[in-house]
Structure 1
C-alpha cells in the first residue's frame, strides 16, 4: 500500500480547483493517480472579504458548494463544499495522499499589515482548515475534513510579515500530535522572490518555484540553470529551528505546468537541458505539476 514519504526523491505535487481541467476530473481521481503524492487546493484569495473578517475561498464552479447560515451571516466569502469534504477524507484514508490548502493565486493580493494580523490570520486559517474545534463547524468550508498543510502562492510584491504567519502556523502544527502537517510555497522563479520572504521559505517543507511564464528564468531560458542553483543553495544553506522533523531540509521542487494552457509559452525547451539540470541537483529537485 502507498505510504507518503516527505523525503522521497520522486514526490510529485499538483494543484486542483481553479482551472478548466478541474471540471473534467475530480479530487478523488487525482488522489487515485499513482503519479501524484500531494494535491493542493487552490485558492484562498483574500484575507478578508466584503467587510467580513473572514477570508474568501475561490474554487472551481464545478465543485458543488453552498453557504451555511453562519457563512451567509458572517463569512460571505466562504461556502461549504460537501463533496470535497468527503473526497479529502478518502484521499487521505484510502490513498494515503496529502491534501493541502493554497493561499493566493494569480493576480491576487494578500497583504499583512502587522505581526499581530499575521498571527491572527494564521490562527484563523488553522481554525478553518486544521483540526476541528477552534472555529464553529458551520464556518469550515470542508466541514470535519482536516487538511495536511498550507501552501502560499502569491506574486503581489507584499512580503511583509509572512514569515510571522509561517511561524505561527508552525506553532499550531506542533500542538497537534495526531499527524504531520506541512508548509509549502510557490514563489516566482526569479531569486530572491519579491512576494514570499526567505524567512517564510526556510520554514517550508516544500518550495516549488514556478519555472515558467518568466523569460529570465523559465526552464527553456538561458538563465534557468543559474537560477536553479541559486534556489538550491539558498534553501539548503538556511537552518530554521521552526521546521518540524518531517523533513530534515526544505525540499526543492521544480514548478512546471502539466498542460499547455497553464503556460503562455512552451516551458520545457530542450530536453537535454532539463536532464542536465535535474542530474546536477540530484536529490534536491522534485516536480510540481500545474494543472
Structure 2
C-alpha cells in the first residue's frame, strides 16, 4: 500500500469515528509491547509477527512500539527507531538513520481503524544513551521534532517513518537518568493537548523501586501522565515478592505507587498498570504463570489507580500459549482481595535503588542494532 492509499484509509477511519482501545476508567486494559522480538526466533510462528497480527487479538488493548532509541544524535539529525525483524521491509531515508516503514505504517492504520487499538511509540529502552538534553529549550525542540515526525502531518519537508499514520501517543521508557526530561515530556503533553481531533496518551514505564531514579524528574509531580506501566520484575519489589493472602506486602509495593498516584503525581487520576514478564525468558526475575498472577491482580484491584496489566512482550506472550487470554480473564474476574487497610491507606514513600533490566544485543539486517530483553 502506498502512502497515498494509506492516507485515504486513514481519512475513512476518521470519518467512521474510530476509537482508541485504552480505557483509563477500566481495570481490564492489557498493554503488550511490540517491536523487539524478545523471544529471539528469527523465523517461523514464534518469531515476532507483523504489528497487525497482535492488534487482531481481542484480548490486547494497547501496543507500545519499542523502541525509538536515539532522539537527537541520529545520523542527519533524525531520530532512530528499531523494530528488530519487523524492520526488514523498511528502507532508510537517504543520509539519515531514520527508517521509512510502509508495512508498519499500514498496520498502524489497520490497528486503529479496524481493531480499535491504541498504538504508542515507546522512547528510550536500555540502549538509549543520550542522557537527555543540554537545556530545557533543546528538550522542547526535540519534542517538537518528535511530534512533527510521528504526530499529525504538518508539512512535506518532515521525514515521517509512518507517512500519514498518526500514533496515539508516546511512552517514555528511560533506564538511566535524563537531563531536562520534564521539559521534553511536558512539551509533548502540550502538543498532544492542542490537537483536539483525537485522544492522545502520555505514559511512562518506570521500574518498581520507588522512586524510579531514571524517571523521577518527570514523576515527581512535574509531568501530567495518563498512565504508567510499572515494571514489577527484575527487582526485589517484583510480582514474585508478593505474599498471597497478606493484606500488607513487605516488598511488593503497588500500594506505594498508588500513594504516589494520589499524592505526588501531577495527574491525581493517573492510572497504574502492573508490568509483568510474559514468559519465563522475558526477564531475569519476576515471571509468574497466570495462575499465580490471579491473586496479585485481585489484590491490585483494590487500589483506585489500578487499570490493568502491561506485559513484555508480544513475542514472549505468544510463545507462552494462553498467557494473554489468562491475564485478560483474571482482569475481567470480579474477584478481589477485600481488606480494611487498602482503600484509604497511604503507604510511606521510601527510597530504593533499582536493578537494571536484563537485555541482550545483536545486529539487525540493515545495519542497525536489534535489541532483545
- Whether 1:9 aligns to 2:27 is yes
What residue in structure 2 maps to residue 278 of structure 1? 300
Q: Cα offset for 1:125?
A: 0.7
What residue in structure 2 maps to residue 213 of structure 1? 234
Between the aligned partners of 1:135 and 1:49, the Cα distance in structure 2 is 22
Q: Cα offset for 1:134?
A: 4.7
Between the aligned partners of 2:251 and 2:19, the Cα distance in structure 1 is 33
What residue in structure 2 maps to residue 96 of structure 1? 116
Please point out which of 14, 18, 30 is paired with 2:54: 30
- TM-score where L is the length of structure 2: 0.68
Residues 98-247 of structure 1: matches in 2 within 5 Å? Answer: 98-111=118-131, 112-134=133-155, 136-137=157-158, 139-156=159-176, 158-197=177-216, 199-200=218-219, 202-214=223-235, 216-221=236-241, 226-238=252-264, 240=266
Contact conserved, 1:163 with 1:197, CA < 8 A, in 2? Answer: no
SS class of match (2:141): helix
1:141-179 Cα deviation digits (max 9, x unpaired): 1111000000011211x2331111111011111221110
Between the aligned partners of 1:49 and 1:115, the Cα distance in structure 2 is 17
- Whether 1:52 aligns to 2:76 is yes
- Go from structure 1 to structure 2 and tell me whether the alpha carbon gap of 1:20 and 1:268 turns closer, same or farther (over 3 Å shift): closer
- Go from structure 1 to structure 2 and tell me whether the alpha carbon gap of 1:173 and 1:279 turns closer, same or farther (over 3 Å shift): closer
Between the aligned partners of 2:141 and 2:308, the Cα distance in structure 1 is 32
Between the aligned partners of 1:141 and 1:178, the Cα distance in structure 2 is 21
Please point out which of 273, 287, 291 is paired with 2:309: 287
SS class of match (2:275): strand
Structure 2 spans left out of the alignment, 5+ residues: 1-17, 40-45, 243-248, 314-373
Over 4 Å off, 4+ runs: 222-226, 269-273
Larger radius of gyration: 2
Structure 1 spans left out of the alignment, 5+ residues: none
Q: CA RMSD in A?
A: 2.5
